[in-house]
A and B are shown apart, each in its own frame.
Chain A
Amino acid sequence: MIADILTVARKELLEILAMGGGGRRGWLSQLLMLGVFGVFLPLQSGRLWVESPLLLLSWAWLPYLLAASTVADSFAGERERHTLETLLASRLSDRAILLGKALAVIAYACGLAWAVVLLGLISLNVALFGQGLIFYSWSVSLGIVAFSLLGSGLAASAGVLISLRAATARQAAQTMSLIIFVFFIPIFVFQLLPPETQKAVVVYLGGLDPGQIALGAGGLLTVVDAALIAAALTRFQRARLILD
């Protein structure tokens, strides 16, 4: 089973890379991202780049966006390109196909995000040479790894679920982009609150330990990720995928 998941993930990764690097534009967009997040922003922020508590949010957000941009293609794209039925006619189990596709998206998003992290550190250390080695604390390092996995996992599991039912890859991508707005709901709700309540919320959040917030958010993401993957596994039906 694990060998099958890795086989599917390997093929998916090759396809994602071929899709991104298939044209000059694909590579350019990736280079641009590395340049902005790996060089420009770290140099602008200085030491704050490794010390800000809001850091973890960005390291969940970036892999989420990267994963969301590729996952829509997973099932809907294969169906459009007429490769899905052949895959379904192979000896691969439903779980191997679904989890392999999700794993590839997570690997791609985390790989690129971690490359950005590394490049950022190199840029900072070069720019601030002589001020000692600049690195994340162990807890933040662990947080980056965990949140990038959970963030990309959220996009991968939601995306696979959407892609299973979408008629086209474009439709799946559009639905994925709508989901991003869900994350802004708490901000909109916050702005609708009376000023006293807003103040109380800020005070309450300010009093919380950042570690506790991170743990709570991590726990919530883990539950949501697992629920979405479970839902996708339940909804995966070969006959329906072929007839759709």
Chain B
Amino acid sequence: MTPIAIRTQALTRDFKTVRAVDTLTLEVPAGIVFGFLGPNGSGKTTTIRLLLGLLEPSAGRAEVLGLDTRTHADGIRARAGALLEHSGLYERLSAEANLDFYARVWRLPGAARAARIKELLEPVGLWERRKEIVGNWSRGMKQKLAVARTLLHRPALVFLDEPTAGLDPVAAVELREQLADLAAREGVTVFLTTHNLAEAEKLCQQVAVIRQGRLLAVGGLDELRRRSGGPRAEVVGRGFSAAAVAALRARPEVADVEAQDGRLTIGLRGVTELAPLVSLLVQHGAEVEEVRKSQASLEEVFLALMEEQPQ
């Protein structure tokens, strides 16, 4: 059985009249990158604060690395790393001084401290620039350094709150590669909040979607795709007559067909051979130029979930 890194049961947090997190029940298996998705203000940051024991829940409970957030928050913070909304770097200090401080906080002994700092900075190209004052760096470099700081003590679990927010596309891609690499290399559980769905699709093995503090869906990417509709086929060509479309709709493996400007979008029920469908179109006089199978993107899944659950 896969160990569970995070388990919440009806976790709830109110701020006066606003319910930021609403009866959230969730399990995050250890050793994966878990995406926690939601629009701005959906309760992602509050959830991280609750899981780190920085805020007390109004109701419900949460266990992180087997420790209760109400009673063992110190233990959780000792074993987890966190890159929160802001990078949290001391901008008047050098990169090395920043890491050295947190390495001391996590009680890394002298020699191990220096070696670990080098081990983390070298792969991201910051080792040569470690003496520079962080305040003069670009946001992308600061985020890379902040990720390195999060990993100093080899935590079992890392919380990353919108790590690529505000970065230019190149810096975002570099940081994403760093995150994927660290998840594979260090074997940590990563709890990643983001509203960048392409990022979640690339990095996460499982995702949860929340809105207004409520969990809308949770599961593997394929599972969520299936939930929001099966695979699709796109056929590009000419002569898609009404009869051809009707014939397609009559097939049991076809869920729906949409015709638009020389393009047919066919919703399929499960994994289906496309050859009989293409033959049927040809028999009805259609000229087929291109056939593509596709799956719903995470963005489409996300939007479908938002539409299913109106505010």
Contact = CB atoms under 8 A, between A and B. Distances in A.
Interface of A: 3-4, 7, 10-11, 14-15, 18-19, 22, 81-83, 85-93, 238-239, 242-243
B112 to A, nearest CB: 15
B101 interface: yes
Contacts of B56: 239
Contacts of B83: 86
Contact of B88 (A22, A82, A91, A242): A82
B104 interface: yes
Chain A residues touching B, majority SS = helix
Given A18-B93, A90-B106, 18 more contacts: A7-B105, A10-B104, A14-B93, A14-B97, A15-B93, A19-B92, A81-B90, A81-B91, A82-B86, A83-B90, A85-B54, A87-B88, A89-B82, A91-B74, A92-B105, A93-B74, A238-B54, A239-B56
A86 B88 contact: yes
B227 interface: no
A28 to B, nearest CB: 18
B90 A85 contact: no
Contacts of A90: 77, 102, 105-106
21 contacts: A10-B101, A11-B97, A11-B101, A14-B93, A14-B101, A15-B92, A18-B93, A22-B92, A81-B90, A81-B91, A82-B88, A83-B90, A85-B84, A86-B86, A90-B77, A90-B106, A91-B77, A91-B78, A92-B105, A93-B74, A243-B15
B309 to A, nearest CB: 28
Q: How large is the interface on B (under 10, 10 to 19, 20 to 34, 35 or more residues)?
A: 20 to 34
B55 A242 contact: yes
Contacts of B85: 82, 85
Contact of B92 (A3, A7, A18, A91): A18
Contacts of B90: 11, 15, 81, 83
Q: Most chain-B Cβ atoms within 10 A of its Cβ — which of A11, A22, A87, A91?
A: A91
A76 to B, nearest CB: 15
Contacts of A242: 49, 54-55
Nearest to A11: B101
Contacts of A83: 86, 88-90
Nearest to A84: B88
Nearest to B146: A86
Contacts of B209: none
A230 to B, nearest CB: 21
A23 to B, nearest CB: 11
A86 B55 CA distance: 14
B251 interface: no
A242 B53 CA distance: 12
Nearest to A16: B92
B49 A7 contact: no
Interface string B39-55: 00000000001001011
B129 interface: no
B293 interface: no
A170 B106 CA distance: 32
Contacts of B54: 85, 88-89, 238-239, 242
Contact of B86 (A85, A88, A91, A238): A85
A91 B82 contact: no
B107 interface: yes
Contacts of B104: 7, 10
A239 B74 contact: no
A83 B102 CA distance: 12
Contacts of B87: 82, 86
Contacts of B84: 85-86, 89
A243 B14 CA distance: 12
Nearest to A8: B105
B77 A89 contact: yes
Interface string B97-111: 100011011110000
A2 to B, nearest CB: 12
Contacts of A238: 54
Q: Most chain-B Cβ atoms within 10 A of its Cβ — which of A15, A18, A86, A238?
A: A86
A85 B88 contact: yes
A18 B91 CA distance: 10
Nearest to A241: B54
Nearest to A242: B54
A184 B244 CA distance: 96
Nearest to B98: A11
A11 B56 CA distance: 29
Nearest to A240: B55
